[in-house]
Amino acid sequence: MKKYLISAFIFTVLITLLTTSAIADDEAFYTALQRCTPYSSSGQTTTDGAVVNFQSRIIGKDQDKCIYEEKVSFSGINSCTKCRLSQKQIDELVNVMRAYSTVQRYSGETPDTSSLQNVSNNPVVKVWNKYLMDSSVCTVELSQ
């Protein structure tokens, strides 16, 4: 059971990164995150044959941190990721997302979300991963 939960956790983090990369070219998301103003987005994507539903929300400020929440469901697993981001962390995330979006726009490329391996190579995913894997910034809860 413990091995299953660890595998589900790792898969959940990768799926969270996938959905984060899906909204990473949304100027409204950048602006809301930069200002820490309420924002909500939801959608569906498919990777490695799994249909993934997600909802991302910027809730707002709590003291000096911006609260970001993402709910993901796939293959009977539900997860909720909550992050408390500092302004410095937000600035880094927004700068990388905007830069990557600009490169995509001029190159005509779109993010490859066909597999988790391809998703993990995305620069936006790499910068988000730094905070998602830091339990002092983000927490992930799993349920079935």
For the stretch 78-133, pLDDT in tens is 888 899 999 999 999 999 888 877 777 777 666 555 555 666 667 777 788 888 88
4's CB contacts (< 8 A; 6+ apart) are: none
- Does position 65 have pLDDT exceeding 90, yes or no? yes
Domain ranges of the chain: 2-143
Model pLDDT, residue 5: 41
Q: How confident is the model at residue 3 (pLDDT cuts 50, 70, 90)?
A: very low
CA distance 34 to 86: 10
Longest dimension (CA), the chain: 47
Question: pTM value?
Answer: 0.76
